[in-house]
Amino acid sequence: MRTFVIIVGLAVCSVMTCCSEKTKRAKVKIPAQKHLNLIVSQKKMIRIQGGTYKAFIGKDSGRIVRVQTFYLDDSPVTNREYLGFLKANPQWARSKVLRLYADSNYLKHWKSDYEIPAGISPEAPVTNISWFAAEAYAKSTGKRLPAIDEWEYAALADQYTPDASRDPAFTDYILKAYQKKDKNQQPIKQEPPNYYGIYNMYGMVWEWTYDFNSVMMSGESRKDNTVNDNLFCAGAAVTSSDLRNYAAFIRYALRGSIKADYCLNNLGFRCAKTKIDPYEKYNPHAAGFDDDILQQEK
């Protein structure tokens, strides 16, 4: 447990240090990204029935949050899938990406722009990906990144129930999963899915969310367009509704300590969608949906 306390402490200290310093740099205007070529996603999406959950950390701590029905990829985006995106959108290749969108660690473990290292499975989660890159991938597939509340809501499920948050054994399972080494280099779906049929929510990689930094943001900072300054580091208090929930606390602490251009070797992503478009209902395989989802949509 000491390892996790240290991780949390470092992450929170990073947030507090960043937020305590006044921004002195001028506002930066992000140049428009180049047009994205669309790609076909074959990844299965799972329908998550809407409901409520109790927020753990941040401005909504202790409040019951309502989550609308949405769809979530059944597994993280893999190296193979991301390679397909790069070939269709070479402006996101390692040697061509703008540093404003990804730091120098972007895909640093790949051998070249389009070559996955021999020691890493093509079916392993892609990592060393910035928020901007993950968002671009999602848009190219007609999807989006999940909101924090959506991700946390889906992550409440163990194998047998949609909400195992009060089960000490489930929290212990999550903490042990975080301690596994080099899991992010192995193929996805090597362990059983959760109640919804979603794989690898824990133990392989941390995952970007669309509003990953929102729990650390104040109302004023949300109005500020300064890139990677107030936008990703604000002075809102970090509180927890249940400090016994170390697993959730670790996730929120990590999200609050990173910036959108950061690329980490244990940080990946999966995509989400609000609803299925009519075209996708008639062409489920092109969109990665299965017959069960189509039946639920009727």
Q: pLDDT tens digits, residue range 269-291?
A: 999 999 876 555 433 333 343 33
Q: pLDDT tens digits, residue range 23-40?
A: 333 344 445 566 899 999
Give residue 151's pLDDT: 92
Whether 209 and 147 have beta carbons less than 8 Å apart is answered as yes
- Rounded to an integer, what distance in angstroms lies between the CA atom of residue 107 and that of residue 129? 6
Backbone angles phi, psi at 66, to 5 degrees: -95, 130
Bigger pLDDT: 206 or 6? 206
Backbone angles phi, psi at 57, to 5 degrees: -130, 155
Q: Mapping DSSP to helix (H, G, I), strand (E, B) and coil, where does residue 285 land?
A: helix
DSSP state of 61: T
Take residue 105 and report the two structure tokens written for it: 């660690």
- Rounded to an integer, what distance in angstroms lies between the CA atom of residue 252 and that of residue 83? 29
The conformational region for residue 205 under phi > 0 = left, psi -120 to 50 = alpha, else beta, is: beta
Report whether pLDDT(48) > 90.
yes
Whether 284 and 44 have beta carbons less than 8 Å apart is answered as no
Q: Mapping DSSP to helix (H, G, I), strand (E, B) and coil, where does residue 46 land?
A: strand
Lowest mean pLDDT among 55-59, 230-234, 280-284: 230-234
Report whether pLDDT(144) > 90.
yes
Cβ neighbors of 122 (< 8 A, separation 6 or more) are: 78, 79, 80, 83, 116
11-15, 38-42, 165-169, range with greatest mean pLDDT: 38-42
Q: What percent of the chain shows pLDDT beyond 90?
A: 47
Q: What angle do CA 224, 152, 275 make, to 5 degrees?
A: 85
Find, among 149, 145, 144, the residue nearest to 58 by Cα.
149
Q: pLDDT tens digits, residue range 87-123?
A: 999 999 999 999 999 999 999 999 999 999 888 999 9
Whether 71 and 293 have beta carbons less than 8 Å apart is answered as yes
State if pTM tops 0.85.
no
Lowest mean pLDDT among 46-55, 124-133, 140-149, 215-224: 215-224
- What domains are defined for the chain? 42-297 (3.90.1580.10)
**Rounded mean pLDDT of the chain?**
75
